[in-house]
Structure 1
């Protein structure tokens, strides 16, 4: 019986139970068929047929075992690679999250409240008819003429469009026209702004200038909020307006910020960045 492949399979732990059952069933059927044929062929043929049967069965078992072992090694290798990839991805994600937490400080509730209040008031000009007119193609093409610059790929930054006030040192308006303001940007980091007058039927250039960075509220919001914390501005009632303050022969570009409690401060656009001054006395 030890020469029987079925005996070999039953006494070896080389494969799973289902595979073993299928092979045993196949061997039993094959043996029954061969014995039936061999009975008619004589003892010599029966012996040869038995040897052939044994050879085929052993060969089949060898293939099955090799296949199972190969599959096991392949599955193990694939599992290890998947675990390594998942571990690397999780490590990278955790590192990125920790870096972001370290570098970026999330805004406080008061800062978010104040930022929203400042945006609503500062960009009110985008709800006016002048803003719709300014977006027409004719004004898109005038950017180089109006800025008096030969700019490459210059475009208006429409998100910065805002109402504009020209004020004297006492806070009085120096213009009876409806004024607006918009920044622009171009290749090689060039940027600047233009001041426009709207008369109901068209837009007229008042002034323009090139700047070292964008003179815009949203572009400098983080620095603006940091300065307002030191000036006691109420977050819920804060308002912002884009202004040009005339001091002697100079015009200082700035944002005038007030609140419902009577607090006020001026955020100046300087050459290197924004700076603050307390109550202007307006």
Structure 2
């Protein structure tokens, strides 16, 4: 009987090549197939460590379905496959979940090889509370889902970690200031582990002003401080705003009540009253 293969999920440096672990290097050397989001970037890493891959293939959102099917067959045949992102930990704001599930379905070993993570590096260096925290990845650029997440961030009682592009950073900070309040604390971590690494700490308006004068470049992580303790009136206003977004999305009164109780801790009667109010307005 053929032995089912192994899928390694290998974390790679987010900037400083010295952060590559010995185990990650060995796992790549032993792989029959290396799947990379951008094979050109991964080739630079492999060349640095004099790793000559037996097979280096692209794996990104545009070919994920086809490549997963192909790799599933390789795992069933007993091959060793390694998945890497352009940098950091695979699956974190990158494709790969479909592949992991396929590997599990065929009985392959799924082996994470821990290492660098931009989100965690930013969080632990931010000076904000680290437990608990919520990782949101990249916010949607626009639309209903973005509004919903902004409403959630407005009342979140712990640190939030976001990814953002340097081109959209200022706009996002200014939008957050408008939605969450200008005095909300934030830390922007940029170019982590690289020569120009920096942490900029302050309020949303202060950090937005800083980047209006210093054009942001490179990879960016935003750590948003927990929402301050709010008055009962402020909490209800936030719950009502959330309910309006849900109603706009077409949620039923029952769904809105459940969401308000889960997200805002409202009593059933008060949640029902708000749900009834916003659905009647619609």
TM normalised by structure 2 equals 0.23
Larger relative contact order, structure 1 or 2 (CA cutoff 8 Å, min sep 6) = 2
